[in-house]
Copies of this chain bind each other. A is one copy, B any other.
Amino acid sequence: MSSVSAVVEDLVAANRILAGLGVLDGFGQVSVRHPDYADRFLLARSLAPELVTREDIMTFDMASAPQDGDTRTPYLERFIHGGIFVRRPDVTCVVHSHAATVVPFAASSVPLKPIYHMSSFLRTGAPVFEIREKFGMTDLLIRNNAHGAALAEKLGDNSTVLMRGHGYCTVGGSIPEAVFRAYYAQVNADLQQRAIALGGHVTYLEDEEARLYDETNRSVIGRPWGLWKAKFA
């Protein structure tokens, strides 16, 4: 199997896994940088992630324009993906989600912080992108390259960016890493909310603890990925 074919297989799996885990519903997307061309990325045509197959994958350039004369309808928010791939050469995969537990943190002044090792990737923070700051009143979608660049700037060198009134994105150096982060951002939001509701003092991870676990995680991330592929892909 060629490298592209294997990547497309994992991208399709990621779509189904994220739907199966409840991270994506009828909305949201997952993209991957092209394995042969760093200035191209792969993303499904506008379709519910649970229904995506190999045949639905399109190729885009860094301006999020469809390639190869592909005239199928792309996602309105493909500019999220192009914007991040341009600014972050280290990123291989981008997930955009509206998952229920994270949206409240995107609307709240309370920051999302790592409450256990699984969400160590949140250690540098999950900044909130406020689209009003640069663009005033919008429909909240990332609809063009200016929006995408502003979102990517807010993401900075972090793994996660929250989007006020909208959702969030996670990025990773591989498809499993970005999917893992999208899922555990959702879990962490639920756990953090529960911890706050207990009314006592909450201890979050120290940066050094989270940094150390992030390294460890590279050696074990294949385990949940293998389980998720077996269950959902």
The residues of A with any CB-CB pair to B shorter than 8 Å are 25-27, 46-48, 50-51, 76, 98, 100-101, 103-110, 115-118, 132, 137-141, 164-167, 187, 190-206, 208-209, 212-213, 215-216, 219-220, 223-228, 230-231
Q: A100-B191, A191-B100 are in contact. Are A165 and B209 (CB under 8 A)?
A: yes
Additional A-B contact list (5), CB under 8 Å, known A48-B224, A117-B165, A139-B209 = A51-B226, A107-B202, A108-B200, A140-B209, A165-B209
Query: How far apart are the CA atoms of A132 and B203 in the complex, in Å?
Result: 12
Query: How far apart are the CA atoms of A163 and B37 in the complex, in Å?
Result: 45
Query: How far apart are the CA atoms of A118 and B166 in the complex, in Å?
Result: 8
**In the complex, are the beta carbons of A204 and B26 less than 8 A apart?**
no
Most-contacted residue by chain B among A137, A202, A223 (CB, 10 A): A223
> In the complex, which residues of chain B have a beta carbon less than 8 angstroms from the beta carbon of A106?
116
Query: How far apart are the CA atoms of A26 and B115 in the complex, in Å?
Result: 18
**In the complex, are the beta carbons of A203 and B165 less than 8 A apart?**
yes
> In the complex, which residues of chain B have a beta carbon less than 8 angstroms from the beta carbon of A138?
209, 212
19 pairs, CB–CB < 8 Å, chain A vs chain B? A25-B227, A48-B226, A100-B190, A100-B194, A101-B194, A104-B115, A104-B192, A105-B198, A107-B191, A108-B195, A108-B198, A109-B202, A137-B209, A137-B212, A139-B213, A139-B215, A140-B205, A140-B209, A196-B198
Q: A26-B224, A209-B165 are in contact. Are A198 and B104 (CB under 8 A)?
A: yes
Query: How far apart are the CA atoms of A198 and B51 in the complex, in Å?
Result: 35
**In the complex, are the beta carbons of A100 and B187 less than 8 A apart?**
yes
Ranked nearest first, the 6 interchain pairs of A and B with the lowest CB-CB distance are A26-B224, A48-B227, A109-B200, A104-B195, A139-B212, A110-B200
For residue A163, give the distance in angstroms from its CB to the closest CB of chain B: 9
**In the complex, are the beta carbons of A227 and B167 less than 8 A apart?**
no
**In the complex, are the beta carbons of B76 and A103 less than 8 A apart?**
no
> In the complex, which residues of chain B have a beta carbon less than 8 angstroms from the beta carbon of A212?
137-140
For residue A232, give the distance in angstroms from its CB to the closest CB of chain B: 12
For residue A76, give the distance in angstroms from its CB to the closest CB of chain B: 7
